[in-house]
């Protein structure tokens, strides 16, 4: 690929434009994650962070129920932000992690654009992609791993286009690819597919394969046993969810489920991708081949990946964002007619406006939670009950399922329902211990371990909560403690 034509040089004034863009984006991202953002699993991951910090400190109440471990293929951000958690709390660390993930997206796009000598302002067209399914679901490991995979691909392309031994690039690639693997195996798998495609279609295939092998050897060696175990679950799931390809959901899941979050969050990137693909096909003889190879390989991976695999759900919908980002470097945007570029820019701004509106509406809906979690729960186990189900604001995503775990994330103590029943996150139940996950229709037996509850929703309390009394109220939230 080194002999392929490259795009025109980038104007020197663009670094100032990029700095202004990143400051504006950073401010917008900070507003989005401040307070109570609409994110399904983020409160649970924040509770994981705070509980992990309590285990590191040796809290006996927490240590009696939970233990820490280092899973392969998932959860690196929770360990990475442990120092922040120890200095503050899990709630702040999770919000900072989400903000960092939002910042990584344009930076990883910028790295890819620089390697292929595309203008830096190309990243503007990719900003809506930052609010992908991993953001809305609050999958911190997946959310981090996607830009890490893009950084890795950019570094690999840089190494391919450089002369010499590229020892530094190989070391950097090994570190980045390992970080990708430790964050989330799905993104690491996409990285391996992308690098393999680039290597096979490279003009210097032998060197390209050698660079890929050297850069991926460490993470592949670390996770080989884990991959074998997950592959066996794909064919013999046991108690896990069976493999489900879900062909139709490859095309309609996001369109069907993105409602108040903004229709343009899906339609916009699809339109932008289509414009860049058409522009590339029209001038493909003058453009480098590497982005097209990468685009096709990642697109094919998305189409082939099942909806449920090895017990994990919604695998396939985490991959389109990578294909969308790569589409933005297929051609120099200057090749696209100015009126079309202006239209795409309007689509980007409208999509971000929809995103901002949904954040504002959600924060208004759950107002009062921050007031009640500002003081610690009493000794014992504390929990969360939603009287209005798990959906909100007309969305099909279950934003209310883990919302009360911000209490654990903010104040610590022994909480529940933050994925401690599995081995894929750093904090899990100690052998022989468990706590109920959902308490919506909880029986007296299920509620027996709990000394305090956060309840969301108006209306009278169910009879199963008769042993609790109200000790605080804010908005639609109530704090109950055992009589």
Residue 21 · residue 105 · CB < 8 Å: no
Please give the average per-residue pLDDT across 196-204, as a whole number.
94
pLDDT band at 394 (very low <50, low <70, confident <90, very high): confident
Question: Which residues are CB-neighbours of 30 under 8 A, at least 6 positions away?
Answer: 99
Sign of CA dihedral 211, 213, 216, 221: negative
pLDDT of residue 437 exceeding 50: yes
pLDDT band at 2 (very low <50, low <70, confident <90, very high): very low
pLDDT of residue 8 exceeding 60: no
Q: How many C-beta atoms surround the C-beta of residue 242 within 10 A?
A: 15
What percent of the chain has a predicted confidence (pLDDT) above 70? 97
Residue 353 · residue 264 · CB < 8 Å: no
User: What are the φ and ψ backbone dihedral angles of 58, each rounded to 5 degrees?
Assistant: 85, 30
The domains of the chain are located at 14-33+70-361, 369-482
Task: Please give the model's pTM, rounded to 2 decimal places.
Answer: 0.94
Q: Which two tokens stand for residue 182?
A: 């430790």
Residue 390 · residue 398 · CB < 8 Å: yes
User: CA 11, CA 144: separation in Å to the nearest integer?
Assistant: 30
What pLDDT digit, counting tens, does each position of 287-307 carry?
Answer: 899 999 999 999 999 999 999
Please give the average per-residue pLDDT across 454-475, as a whole number.
92
Please give the average per-residue pLDDT across 32-61, as a whole number.
97
Please indicate whether residue 203 or residue 299 has the higher confidence score (pLDDT).
Answer: 299
Provide the pLDDT for residue 6. Answer: 41
Give the H/E segment covering residue 114.
Answer: helix 90-115
Give the H/E segment covering residue 308.
Answer: strand 308-309
Q: Per DSSP, what are the bridge partners of residue 67?
A: 428
Residue 176 · residue 188 · CB < 8 Å: no
Q: How much is the mean pLDDT over the chain?
A: 92
User: CA 182, CA 174: separation in Å to the nearest integer?
Assistant: 12
pLDDT of residue 157 exceeding 90: yes
Residue 76 · residue 178 · CB < 8 Å: no
What pLDDT digit, counting tens, does each position of 234-289 carry?
Answer: 888 877 778 899 988 998 998 888 889 998 999 999 999 999 999 999 988 888 99
Residue 411 · residue 419 · CB < 8 Å: no
Q: Per DSSP, what are the bridge partners of residue 66?
A: 429
pLDDT of residue 15 exceeding 90: no
Distances (CA, A) of 92 to 88, 98, 132, 271: 7, 10, 22, 36
- Alpha helix stretches (DSSP H) within 328-425: 338-365, 369-372, 406-411
Please give the average per-residue pLDDT across 387-394, as a whole number.
87
What's the length of the chain? 483
Distances (CA, A) of 127 to 108, 328, 355: 11, 11, 11
Provide the pLDDT for residue 166. Answer: 80
Cα 340 to chain centroid, rounded:
30
Q: Which two tokens stand for residue 474?
A: 């804010």
What pLDDT digit, counting tens, does each position of 50-67 carry?
Answer: 999 999 999 999 999 999
Q: Per DSSP, what are the bridge partners of residue 469?
A: 481
User: CA 55, CA 237: separation in Å to the nearest integer?
Assistant: 32
3-class SS shares of the chain: helix, strand, coil, % to 5: 60, 10, 35
pLDDT band at 49 (very low <50, low <70, confident <90, very high): very high
Provide the pLDDT for residue 442. Answer: 67
What percent of the chain has a predicted confidence (pLDDT) above 90? 78
């Amino acid at each position: 690929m080194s002999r392929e034509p490259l795009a025109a040089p980038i104007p020197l004034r663009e670094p100032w434009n990029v700095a202004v863009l990143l400051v504006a984006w950073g401010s917008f991202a900070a507003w989005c994650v401040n307070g109570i953002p609409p994110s399904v699993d983020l409160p649970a991951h924040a509770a994981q962070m705070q509980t992990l910090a309590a285990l590191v400190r040796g809290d006996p109440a927490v240590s009696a129920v939970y233990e820490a471990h280092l899973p392969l293929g998932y959860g690196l951000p929770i360990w990475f932000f442990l120092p922040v958690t120890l200095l503050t709390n899990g709630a702040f660390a999770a919000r900072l992690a989400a903000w960092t993930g939002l910042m990584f997206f344009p930076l990883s796009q910028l790295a890819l654009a620089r390697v292929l000598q595309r203008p830096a302002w190309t990243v503007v067209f990719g900003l809506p992609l930052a609010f992908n399914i991993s953001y809305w679901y609050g999958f911190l490991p997946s959310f981090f791993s996607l830009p890490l995979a893009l950084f890795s691909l950019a570094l690999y392309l840089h190494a391919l286009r450089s002369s010499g031994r590229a020892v530094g690039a190989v070391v950097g690639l090994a570190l980045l690819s390992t970080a990708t693997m430790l964050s989330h195996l799905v993104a690491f798998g996409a990285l391996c597919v992308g690098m393999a495609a680039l290597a096979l279609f490279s003009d210097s295939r032998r060197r390209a394969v050698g660079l890929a092998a050297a850069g991926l050897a460490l993470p592949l060696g670390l996770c080989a046993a884990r991959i074998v175990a997950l592959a066996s679950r794909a064919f013999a799931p046991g108690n896990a969810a069976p493999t489900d390809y879900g062909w139709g959901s490859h095309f309609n899941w996001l369109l069907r489920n993105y409602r108040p979050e903004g229709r343009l969050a899906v339609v916009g990137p699809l339109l932008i991708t289509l414009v860049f693909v058409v522009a590339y096909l029209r001038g493909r003889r003058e453009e480098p081949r590497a982005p097209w190879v990468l685009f096709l390989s990642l697109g094919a991976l998305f189409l082939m990946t099942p909806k449920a695999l090895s017990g994990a759900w919604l695998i396939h919908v985490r991959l389109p964002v990578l294909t969308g980002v790569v589409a933005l470097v297929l051609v120099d945007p200057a090749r696209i007619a100015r009126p079309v570029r202006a239209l795409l820019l309007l689509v980007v701004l409208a999509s971000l406006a929809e995103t901002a509106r949904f954040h504002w509406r959600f924060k208004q809906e759950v107002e009062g939670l921050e007031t009640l979690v500002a003081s610690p729960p009493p000794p014992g186990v504390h929990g969360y009950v939603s009287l209005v189900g798990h959906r909100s604001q007309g969305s099909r995503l279950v934003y209310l399922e883990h919302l009360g775990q911000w209490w654990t994330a903010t104040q610590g103590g022994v909480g529940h329902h933050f994925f401690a029943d599995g081995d894929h996150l750093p904090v899990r139940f100690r052998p022989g211990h468990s706590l109920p996950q959902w308490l919506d229709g909880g029986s007296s037996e299920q509620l027996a371990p709990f000394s305090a509850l956060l309840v969301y929703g108006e209306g009278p309390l169910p009879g199963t909560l008769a042993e609790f009394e109200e000790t605080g109220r804010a908005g639609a939230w109530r704090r109950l403690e055992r009589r």
